[in-house]
């Protein structure tokens, strides 16, 4: 890109100024960010400073007391908590290079001639950073900045240089912010004992949030907007009034990639949707003290799951795919498991499936997405009733049901007894989709061929 800039030829730019010029906020003269000043002279003496950034305010302006704004009066001022009066660096003929390869991540570096320092910027708002660099570019090009109101450089206030709040805990209703927004820098938020009936929509704008704890409230519904929290790794919703866990929440790609912990304990959930198995990065799943009667038949797809707790539900059997898990800990105490000695095969048919079932098997095998907007409601319910055979294929009416007793110590390192007698054996329910699978099961009911 060809540029005409009335500045010294030795000034080098590796910044894509076109990108900066497209910043949405037109002019930002003050920037809150983390800054690390690196002394380049140390490297020439084989010395290295331990890099540690601190929260700071960067400003572009002029010294107080000067006359009309002129090009040679412009400075960059750096203010920190230790130096609120700030350090001023002249702009004209003093900036060697501006690095903006990672500006989209809120990072940039301004290289100074005197002193021999690099001002390394990080954790800045992307739009504000681009706007700040836009003003800096115009100053370097010698453009007339009369149209921009550049105030005199003055010491920063404590509010502007204090480190952004990343953790917020609210445990009483009177502390809940009604007239002001949540800090956008929050990474962890806990709101408990506030009798919240629905999730505040302002929470969905906290894009840096990684941990959200809304336990001990009165929440009834988990809205789809929760998928806007693209970095969310922990979601705790224990002790609420949730009756249905929406399948559409599980289909959001952002949560599928980020969510590691899901706590739904002490709610009123009767059934987890099949789609919960799309949250393939789950490591910890808790749903103690609910009204669960069955687990999703494809729960074995959660290959990264390490901890599962489902105490005090109404489980009578576990799905066969549960035995594919490799857990660190499992706790299923207080369920109403059926008593079974070895294995049983219930009545059923593995004859030739109907055309409807063949189509449904193909849709499930290919993982084709569907919704009530695409198909009639009864077809969606039919697809949701899919059963998974040991061989990995799906089946519906054309299947044979079996139950067998399995020791939980086969799938977990630490097992909590399922009853007061200390037993660890549980009944497992599965389905067989073809005569071949039925024959294999009869030959060895404890074998898994996928």
DSSP line for 47-83: -------EEEEEEEEE-TT-SS--GGGEEEEEEESS-
Rounded CA gap, 177 and 325, in Å?
Answer: 43
**Of all residues in the chain, what percent carry a pLDDT higher than 70?**
86
pLDDT at 181: 87
Domain boundary among 91, 126, 161: 161
Q: Is the pLDDT of residue 208 over 60?
A: yes
Question: Mapping DSSP to helix (H, G, I), strand (E, B) and coil, where does residue 255 land?
Answer: helix
Domain that holds residue 147: 17-45+53-64+71-161
Mean pLDDT of 386-401: 86
pLDDT of the residue at 45: 58
pLDDT value of position 416:
94
pLDDT digits (tens, 9 = 90+) for 345-385: 876 778 888 999 999 999 988 988 888 888 888 888 888 88
Does 321 fall in a domain? no
User: Quick one: 210 and 156 in the same domain?
Assistant: no
Domains held by the chain: number: 3
Residue 153 lies in a domain: yes
pLDDT band (50, 70, 90) for residue 266:
very high
In terms of domains, do 175 and 309 share one?
yes
pTM: 0.70
- 402 Cβ contact partners less than 8 Å away, ≥ 6 residues apart: 343, 344, 345, 346, 429, 430, 431, 432, 441, 445
User: Phi/psi at 138 (nearest 5 deg)?
Assistant: -65, -35
The verdict on 183 and 305 lying in the same domain is yes
Give a yes or no: residue 319 inside a domain. no
Note the pLDDT tens digit of each residue in 147-199.
666 667 877 777 766 777 889 999 999 999 988 889 888 999 999 999 999 99
At 133, which helix (H) or strand (E)? helix 126-140
In a domain, residue 9? The reply is no
Identify the domain boundary among 314, 331, 348.
314
pLDDT tens readout for residues 6-47: 444 344 344 444 344 443 444 558 888 899 998 888 766 566
pLDDT digits (tens, 9 = 90+) for 283-317: 999 999 999 999 998 898 899 999 999 999 999 99
Measured CA distances, 294 to 291, 298, 326, 336 (Å):
9, 12, 20, 11
Residue 367 lies in a domain: yes
Q: Clarify whether residues 357 and 402 are in a common domain.
A: yes
**Domain contains 93:** yes
pLDDT of residue 5: 41
- The residue out of 121, 143, 161 marking a domain boundary is 161
**What are 402-450's pLDDT values in tens digits?**
888 889 999 999 999 998 888 999 999 888 888 888 888 888 876 665 4
């Amino acid at each position: 890109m060809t540029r005409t800039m009335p500045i010294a030829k030795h000034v080098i730019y590796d910044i894509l100024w076109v990108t900066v010029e497209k910043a949405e906020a037109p002019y930002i003269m003050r920037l809150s960010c983390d800054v690390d000043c690196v002394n380049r002279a140390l490297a020439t003496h084989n010395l290295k400073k331990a890099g540690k950034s601190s929260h700071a305010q960067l400003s572009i302006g002029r010294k107080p007391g000067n006359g009309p704004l002129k090009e040679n009066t412009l400075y960059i001022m750096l203010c920190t908590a230790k130096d609120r009066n700030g350090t001023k660096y002249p702009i004209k003929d003093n900036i060697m290079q501006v690095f903006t390869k990672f500006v989209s991540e809120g990072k940039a570096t301004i290289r100074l001639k005197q002193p021999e320092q690099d001002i390394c910027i990080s954790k800045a708002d992307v739009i504000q950073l681009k706007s700040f660099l836009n003003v800096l570019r115009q100053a370097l090009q010698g453009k007339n900045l009369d149209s921009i109101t550049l105030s005199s450089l003055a010491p920063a206030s404590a509010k502007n240089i204090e480190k952004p709040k990343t953790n917020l805990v609210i445990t009483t209703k009177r502390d809940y912010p009604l007239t002001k927004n949540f800090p956008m820098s929050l990474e962890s938020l806990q709101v408990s004992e506030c009798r919240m009936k629905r999730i505040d929509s302002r929470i969905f704008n906290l894009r840096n949030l990684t941990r959200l704890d809304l336990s001990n409230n009165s929440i009834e519904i988990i809205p789809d907007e929760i998928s806007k929290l693209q970095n969310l790794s922990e979601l705790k919703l224990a002790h609420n009034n949730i009756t249905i866990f929406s399948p559409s929440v599980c289909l959001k790609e952002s949560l599928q990639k980020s969510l590691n912990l899901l706590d739904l304990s002490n709610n009123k959930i009767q059934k987890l949707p099949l789609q919960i198995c799309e949250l393939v990065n789950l490591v910890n799943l808790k749903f103690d003290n609910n009204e669960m009667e069955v687990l999703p038949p494809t729960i074995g797809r959660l290959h990264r799951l390490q901890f599962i707790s489902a105490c005090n539900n109404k489980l009578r059997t576990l799905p066969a795919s549960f035995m594919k898990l490799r857990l660190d800990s499992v706790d299923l105490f207080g369920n109403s498991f059926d008593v079974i000695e070895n294995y049983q095969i219930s009545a059923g048919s593995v004859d030739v499936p109907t055309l409807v079932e063949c189509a449904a098997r193909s849709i499930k095998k290919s993982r084709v997405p569907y919704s009530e907007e695409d198909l009639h409601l009864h077809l969606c319910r039919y697809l949701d009733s899919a059963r998974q055979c040991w061989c990995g294929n799906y089946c519906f009416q054309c299947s044979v049901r079996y139950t067998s007793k399995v020791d939980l110590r086969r799938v977990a390192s630490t097992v909590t007894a399922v009853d007061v007698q200390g037993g660890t054996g549980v009944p497992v329910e599965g389905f067989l989709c073809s005569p071949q699978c039925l024959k294999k099961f009869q030959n060895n009911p404890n074998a898994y061929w996928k």
